[in-house]
Structure 1
Amino acid sequence: MRIKRWWNLSLVLLLSISLIVGCSKGANEPSGTDSATGNEAAGTKLEPVTLKIMIPGDRPPDMDLVIAEAERRMKDTINVKLDIVFVPWADLGQKTQVTLASGENIDLIFDAPWLHINQMIADGFYEPLDDLLAKYGKNVLEKRPQQMWDANKYNGKIMAVPLGLVYGTGNSYVVRKDLREKLGIPPIKTQKELIDFAYKVKEQVPGIAPFMAAGTSGQQTYSIVGLRSQFDYDTHVRFTHALGSSLMLYYKNNDGKVYNLLEDSEPVMTWLKEARQMYLDGLVYKDILTAKDFIQPFLSGKAAIVTKGSFGTGLSFDQQFKSNVPGGDLETVTFFDGTKGANMSNFKQWNFLAVPKVSKNKERAVMFMDWANEKENYDLLSYGIQGKHWEPVGDMEYKLLDTKGYWGFGYVWVWNPIDERSDAERDKKYDEFEAVLRDADNFTRDVLTGFDFDSAAVQNDLSQYNTVEAKYYPALFNGVLDPEETLKKFEAEAGPSLKRIQAELQKQIDAFLAKK
């Protein structure tokens, strides 16, 4: 379940006009009537086609009900049936790469910059979508502002549909409020106070791990050090275009330089040492590296703090926790700075949906995406059956009715900034911060905005490096391994490959900046 609806890992755009546009299509408008798809417009019914769609996460119990309703709506229009394959988040990188390399027929597939989208594009696995979207994807195009398209092309082409809502990420820690109050600790306002709380839990609350974070490959933005880096307002450490969510290479200071952790260790080394000390002192969940879904131990009451990729918790998250921990209570702690200009953005999105070149149903795949970007169909795929799983609250909010039968995972296949609703029972404490994320003028522009990395020249190095990273990185960035000793092993096994990747990335950045 990587983080069902509450884990909003994706970077996204939302213009102020989105509310107006989102309300312009009535909820009762028939599905599939505004797609300029040729045969339907001419009144000729299309032959049935089954689309195989590969996305991450766990299959909800009521998924078959939602698919049946979707297929019923599509029968007389685009005539599509859905074969949806869910891949566990921990297996996502390997499974999707092997599937694409094998030539297995897949019609739509999830990918991301923090996964391997650049590599897959460079290797020619994805179909360019400009012409297909122009012919069959009117809704897909219109539901995403031009700024989003401009910032998320590859070599000037649309190689995948961006999925997102804001210009930056809201990050936080979910904390056991009941334990904090029981221990007589005031509300947490700083990183030091958060760690001090963890030590108090270790000392006075036996049987509960103080700290949980993401410990598997593909989720390292939410490792102990990964999330710590998201609150770096001194140097603005950021992930690079080459390695996605790895900080072995990183940007800082918005200076257009690529830094190598093996050569320029600060401030990352300080965070690694802090994480190591936490682990040595027994603050970190003992099975952090084997928990495929790192949220579950927290929801089960086995941890006091967990990393999270959004502000607030949401009703679904709260209800699952309280069903497991009667009398428990949660709160979110964030060190986000909402001051204008404090945060940096290149306006890239973090989640995408691509059409593999091997697909035999490319046109119908784009038709389906277009259908899914109509308001009532978007609601169905995002929230489930209206009246059973959810109910609307106005045009822009929803109320959950059943948190176990169908959970939201729109961010992996349909997200757009116009149709997305907000949880009416969300923690509105952070609405002000959410508004900051949705306004581009609040961000300092990254000097690399518009830059794309072509990994073709270093594909072998990336493959060699990724093998070594999978062995060390999750443990290193969660304090399980000693940073100095581990980085020596890292350098011995992958140092030359990492250096060549750094050099190629810097070469392309220098050329990009020289043209500005």
Structure 2
Amino acid sequence: MIKRKKKALGVALAATLAVSLTACTTPSSTGTSSTDKATTTAAATTAAGTPSSNKIDTSEFQTISYVMLGDKPKNGQFEKVMEKLNAILKQKVNAKLEIKWVEWADWQTKYNLLLASGEPVDLITVATDWLDTWQNAQKGAFQSLDKLLPIYAPLTWKEVPPENWAETKYKNQIMLIPEDHYTQWVNHGFLYRGDWAKEFGITAPIKDWETLGKYFQGVKDKKPGVMPWDPNGTSGDIAGGYINSHTDAIELPVSTGMFGLIYGKSYDAKYTAYSPVFDDTFVNFAKQMKEWGDKGFWREDVLNYKGDNRSELEAGKSSVDQHHTQTFLGERTKMDKLQPGSDLQFFPFSSTRNNLVSMSITHGGTSIGAKSKHPERALMVYELIRQDPEVYRLMNYGLEGVQYVVKDGKRYRPDGYDVQRDDFYTDFWGGRVDKNEIPDGNDWVGKGDLYASYDKIKKAYPYGRFVFDKSPVTNELTAVTQIVGQMGPAILYGKAGDPVKAVNDFRAKLKAAGFDKLQTEVQKQLDAFKTTIESSK
């Protein structure tokens, strides 16, 4: 959720960029590497910052896998872009990139099983706040990058400052490369139609759940054939959103599955473990969800539904979508075309109390798999994706002239662009950088004001260096997570009967599973973390 400022790399880094990318290019009259010329000289920087020359043997052609979260594109454009991208990778580092997709259907289970399987994957999309990075690090899923980065990704090594590398360490070893040079906000909320809100008499921006309920009722009463909200019942974000709107608690990086149970009490009491599930907050939430479910604000079979709510919003068949600021900005532009006059607006959960906490710099990142057979070449490929403007644009935007054109320094869709035929994406969220971005010429005009409003109230994320060691409570954490998965969905979507009884039953099950021991251990580790932070000041 943090807005990160573009960092100037300076003359020295620019020179390093020129040297490194030139050095990584294998000369060939055909534009492809040849065996007898495939040993390249790469500029490297030691941990002490002293330039050195290292002979890097790239004579063996290697295929590098990259684990991405998302559904593989099916219109053929992905293959066309990758063909060109891989031609460049072959020329520069004698390698080929293959995306290994973890599709959105049951993505969390699939992702964690893949990392636990011991399969020799190379590059892996990671995130400490939503992809269980520290838990997977504890299981030995990743390689240490301390010795590899200065040699095989020297530009990135220099670009990321020491204080940011410090937030990527587990047991004092670097586990991931952070996406720390990319400006974005991923604080969640509801996207809703401003035109319909005004039609229902809601003239001010929605900033609370009560007004959101009035909006839903207006849709129910006046928009036949439109579902107020059409979630699929597998997302737990609504629980965290309600807690964000009604308390000052900050969720801790302690994964309990569908939604978090353990928070820091507030920004001022950030080292005090607290669970809103065990006070009136969660009871009130359950009552609200039961009321909304009974009113038909979502479909009766919500717990079994597997549809795409965002597509329904775009088609005028749903009135909201629940996601984050970056999604809102993209959908705002899209909805202006698909639903002219819709005036898409955003209700950030934090707007109720102005308690916005910046995103961790490790919300996105890239690790190397523990069983990777080619960690050195994998880092060289990553370095090109992040640092080489041509490779970066292919990875993020596709083919110029097909997926985009550049006019006056901004990016637009070409004339005749058809989203079904021409759309392309890789879901690369592990190393975007502002310096290589081409601004979108169709960005919503209100984007700057929205970011500025966030900057006025944001507070720094306090748990970037907090790594919860679950080993003392592995059994309890597993049992608690299972109960969240079993009982949580019905409570979250008003399908658990009497909400007070449902929450009490949920609490009792959590207690029997060892929740108190789990929270006590979290508090113990927060105390130690507080001591470490305060001693470092």
Change in Cα spacing, 1:337 to 1:387, as seen in structure 2 (3 Å) is same
CA contact (8 A) 1:212 1:284 kept: yes
Name the SS of the counterpart of 2:372 in structure 1: coil
1:89 and 1:416 map into 2 onto residues whose CA distance is: 25
Which of 113, 121, 124 is residue 140 of structure 2 equivalent to? 124
Cα shift readout 1:336-372 (whole Å, capped 9, x = no counterpart): 7799x95334744322322111111111111111110
Q: Is the 8 A contact 1:311 1:430 kept in 2?
A: no
Q: SS state of the match for residue 218, structure 2?
A: helix
Q: Which position in structure 1 is the counterpart of 2:423?
A: 406
Which residue of the other structure, out of 382, 404, 424, is the alignment partner of 2:396? Answer: 382
Residues 173/338 of structure 1: CA separation in 2 closer, same or farther (3 Å cut): closer
SS class of match (2:484): helix
Does the 8 Å CA contact 1:55/1:86 hold for their aligned counterparts?
yes
- Determine the C-alpha separation between the residues in 2 that align with 1:288 and 1:275: 12
Task: Tell me how far apart the structure 2 counterparts of residues 167 and 315 of structure 1 sit (CA, whole Å).
Answer: 12
Find the counterpart in structure 2 of residue 308 from structure 1. 323
**Residue 200 of structure 1 corresponds to which residue in structure 2?**
218
In the alignment, is residue 247 of structure 1 matched against residue 265 of structure 2?
Answer: no
Q: Give me the whole-angstrom Cα distance separating, in 2, the residues matched to 1:393 and 1:115.
A: 37
Q: CA separation of 1:472/1:155 partners in 2, compared to 1, >3 Å: closer, same or farther? A: same
Distance in 1 (alpha carbons) for counterparts of 2:193 and 2:478: 40
Residue 303 of structure 1: CA displacement? 0.9
The 3-state SS of whatever aligns with 1:131 is: coil
User: Secondary structure of 1:267's match?
Assistant: helix
Give the stretch that moved more between structures: 485-494 or 273-282.
Answer: 485-494
Between the aligned partners of 1:142 and 1:443, the Cα distance in structure 2 is 28
Aligned residue among 86, 89, 104 for 1:71: 86
How many residues are paired up? 491
TM-score (norm: length of structure 1):
0.83
Greater Cα shift, 276-285 or 504-513? 276-285
Name whichever structure is richer in helix by fraction. Answer: 2
CA distance 1:16–1:82, change in 2 (3 Å)? closer
Counterpart in the other structure of 1:506? 523
Which residue is 1:473 aligned to?
488
* 2:121 equivalent in structure 1: 106
| Contact 2:328/2:346 (8 A) holds in 1 | no
| Letter aligned with residue 369 of structure 2 | P
For 1:283, the equivalent position in structure 2 comes to 297
Q: Following the alignment from structure 1 to structure 2, what is the Cα–Cα distance between the partners of residues 108 and 350? A: 16
CA distance in 2, matches of 1:97, 1:335: 29
Q: Say if 2:33 is the partner of 1:15.
A: no
Residue of structure 1 aligned with 2:479, choices 459, 464, 478 = 464
Letter in 2 for 1:295: R
Q: CA deviation at 1:68?
A: 0.5
User: Contact 1:49–1:80 at 8 Å: present in 2 too?
Assistant: yes
Matched, 1:351 2:341: no
Identity rate, percent: 22
Q: Could you tell me which amino acid in structure 1 is paired with residue 306 of structure 2?
A: A
Q: Is 1:163 aligned to residue 163 of structure 2?
A: no
Instruction: Report the 3-state secondary structure (helix = DSSP H, G, I; strand = E; otherwise coil) of the residue aligned with 1:398.
Output: strand
> CA separation in 2, counterparts of 1:227 and 1:422?
30
- State how far apart, in whole Å, the 1-side matches of 2:453 and 2:439 are: 16
More displaced 10-residue stretch of structure 1: 480-489 or 67-76: 480-489
Displacement, 1:394? 5.2
Q: 1:137 maps to which residue?
A: 153
Deviation at 1:262, TM superposition (A): 4.5
1:40 matched residue in structure 2: 40
Instruction: Please state whether the residue corresponding to 1:468 is helix, strand or coil.
Output: helix
CA contact (8 A) 1:175 1:331 kept: yes
Three-state SS of the structure 2 residue aligned to 1:124 is coil
Match of 2:105 among 68, 83, 90: 90
Q: Provide the C-alpha distance between the structure 1 equivalents of 2:330 and 2:135, rounded to a whole number of angstroms.
A: 37
Alpha-carbon contact 2:6-2:434 (below 8 Å) kept: no
Assess if the C-alpha contact under 8 Å between 1:173 and 1:334 holds in 2. yes
Which structure exhibits the higher relative contact order, with contacts defined as CA atoms closer than 8 Å and separated by 6 or more residues? 1
The C-alpha deviation readout for 1:21-58, integer Å capped at 9, x for no partner, is 69x969x9899436699942159653211122221112
Paired residues of 1:209 and 1:304 also in contact (CA < 8 A): yes
- The secondary structure found in structure 1 opposite 2:217 is helix
Say whether 1:179 aligns with 2:191.
no
* Cα gap change, 1:17 to 1:34, in 2 (>3 Å): farther
Aligned partner of residue 98 in structure 2, secondary structure: strand
Provide the C-alpha distance between the structure 2 equivalents of 1:30 and 1:286, rounded to a whole number of angstroms: 61
Equivalent position of 1:3 in the other structure: none
Residues 487 and 182 of structure 1: is their aligned pair in 2 closer, same or farther, counting only changes over 3 Å? closer
Distance in 2 between residues matched to 1:421 and 1:266, nearest whole Å: 47
1:364 is matched with which residue? 377
RMSD: 3.5
* 8 Å contact from structure 1 (residues 237, 253) kept in 2: yes
CA contact (8 A) 2:245 2:351 kept: no
Q: Residues 160 and 355 of structure 1 are in contact (CA less than 8 Å); yes or no, is this contact kept in structure 2?
A: yes
Once the two structures are TM-superposed, the CA of residue 242 in structure 1 deviates from its matched residue by 0.9
1:411 positional shift: 4.8
Corresponding residue of 1:267: 281
2:436 alignment partner, one of 419, 438, 463:
419
Q: What amino acid is aligned across from residue 174 of structure 2 in structure 1?
A: I
Q: Which range moved further: 488-497 or 456-465? A: 488-497
Structure 1 Cα separation of the partners of residues 301 and 20 of structure 2 = 47
Q: Shift of the alpha carbon at 1:240? A: 1.3
Query: Aligned residue for 2:34?
Result: none
Conservation of the 8 A alpha-carbon contact between 2:68 and 2:102: yes
Question: How big is each residue's C-alpha offset from its partner over 1:370-413, in whole Å with a ceiling of 9 and x where there is no partner?
Answer: 11012221111111111110123555x42234444334455534
Structure 2 residue corresponding to 1:486, chosen from 487, 502, 506: 502
Shift of 1:178: 4.1
1:109-149 CA-to-partner distances (Å, cap 9, x unmatched) read: 22323232121111111111121111111233345454433
CA distance in 2, matches of 1:183, 1:346: 34
